[in-house]
Amino acid sequence: MEKILNSTPVRTTNKFKINDIKVDIPDIEFINFDDYKIDGNYNVSIKDKFNSRIGLDYNKYLNIDLDVNKDNINLEFNVNKPLVLNININSSIDSTVNIKYIGNNIAITKINTSLNNSNIKLNVINLLDKEAYNIIEFTNTLVDSNMTTNFIDIGGKVKLSNLLTDLNSSNSTYNLNNLYLGINEDIIDMNYLINLNKPNTNSELVVEGLLNDKSKKSFKGTLDFKEGSSDSIGHENENCILLSDEAKSKSLPMMLCHEESVDGAHGVSTGKIDEEKLFYLMSRGLSKDESIRLILNANINKIVNCIDDVNLQQEIIDIINKEI
């Protein structure tokens, strides 16, 4: 059923067709949560009423409360049946949480992270099959904390992501490293909002993407410097390489500012592979294909290297190289 989803925090004219996305999302009639066995000592339950900013609502969902008490937590979901999932992450220690998706169905996830005086790295890896759907919503509330989300969004034909981060105390930092891949007729829609609410907060968004075939992507990233966010720093950078002349890229890097003393910047670049780089590498004896692959891998590695697990890094690179 076609739905209007993932609305931007500040609207612009509808003629630009970027305020929201219209997309077909299959109806989920019945969810059998028995299909999902969660290994580990977590508080797992089935709850009623799943509401999301992205615009999808369901009657029931699987809820996991992760009270982080060790330095490394791994969750893997084999999404061969529909999954509606809510994960609450509370942490007061430094840790890494890895969440990985494989399978061929539809995964709808909300990940709520509430941090107080802790540092956390959240790695979310979407390695779903080509026909799958990955719909994910991140909500982060940080007090005296640092958080990095490494989000690898390469599987599935529909990839919708929504992120809201509130930096609620001085000296809190939030960084997002995001890699997306569009192939065939994939639809990718990213809608990210970072609220810098207090003085001396920092945020950096780095988004790297590759679009091939007839894939379409919208990137909507907003840095909102609220009144009182003096001496905060917010940077946002999106780099999209178009590998096919039929791929389409839209971007809306918004910056809203109600505070004088901030350092805010955003940059977007879209287009083909840099010809100067290509020329340089080919003049060193590499073939055109080898040169292109080397340049693309350099872009991919910027994000992939943020994940500590070397085996996982290689798995991601192998999948991307196979697809492009």
Partner 1 sequence: MKTNINEYEDKETRNIYNIKSTLESSKKILGLSEEIVRNISKEKNEPDWVLNIRLKALDLYNKMEDPDWGPDISYLNIDELLTYVKPSTGENRSWEDVPDDIKEVFDKLGIPEDEKKNLAGVGAQFDSEMIYHNLTEKMKELGVIYTNFDVAIQEYPELVKEYFTKAVPLTDHKYIALHYALFSGGSFVYIPAGVKLDQPLQSYFRLNEKGAGQFEHTLIIVEDSASLEFIEGCSAPGYNELNLHAGCVELFVKKNAYLRFSTIENWSKNMLNLNTKKCYVEENGTIEWIMGSFGSKVSMLYPLSVLNGRNAKCEFTNISFAGKGQNLDTGFKVIHNAPNTKTVVNAKSISKDGGICLFRSYSWVKNNAKNSKLALSCESLMMDSESRSDTIPVNNIETSDCVFSHEASIGKISERAIFYLMSRGMSEVEAKALIVRGFAEPIAKAFPVEYAVEMNRLINLELEGSIG
The answer to whether residue 267 forms part of the interface with partner 1 (CB under 8 A) is yes
Residue closer to partner 1 (CB basis): 15 or 49 = 15
The answer to whether residue 164 forms part of the interface with partner 1 (CB under 8 A) is no
Query: Binding pattern to partner 1, positions 271-310, x when CB under 8 A?
Result: xx--------------------------------------
Asked if 226 and 257 touch (Cβ cutoff 8 Å), the reply is no
The answer to whether residue 214 forms part of the interface with partner 1 (CB under 8 A) is no
Q: Which residue has the tokens 């105390």?
A: 169
Q: DSSP character for 34?
A: G
Residue closer to partner 1 (CB basis): 53 or 100 = 53
Q: How far is the CB of 270 from partner 1 (least distance, A)?
A: 4
Query: Burial, 225: exposed, middle or buried (Cβ in 10 Å; 0-12, 13-18, 19+)?
Result: buried
Q: How far is the CB of 106 from partner 1 (least distance, A)?
A: 28
How far apart are alpha carbons 256 and 232 in whole angstroms?
13
Q: Which of 264, 296, 306, 307 binds partner 1 (CB under 8 A)?
A: 264
The answer to whether residue 184 forms part of the interface with partner 1 (CB under 8 A) is no
Strands, E assignment, the chain: 2-5, 21-24, 43-50, 58-68, 72-79, 83-91, 95-103, 106-116, 119-126, 133-143, 146-153, 158-167, 173-182, 187-196, 202-211, 216-225, 233-242, 248-257, 263-271
The window from 43-51, 150-158, 238-246, 298-306 that contacts partner 1 (CB under 8 A) reads 238-246
Residue closer to partner 1 (CB basis): 20 or 118 = 20
The answer to whether residue 263 forms part of the interface with partner 1 (CB under 8 A) is yes
Asked if 66 and 16 touch (Cβ cutoff 8 Å), the reply is no
The window from 75-83, 174-182, 197-205, 270-278 that contacts partner 1 (CB under 8 A) reads 270-278
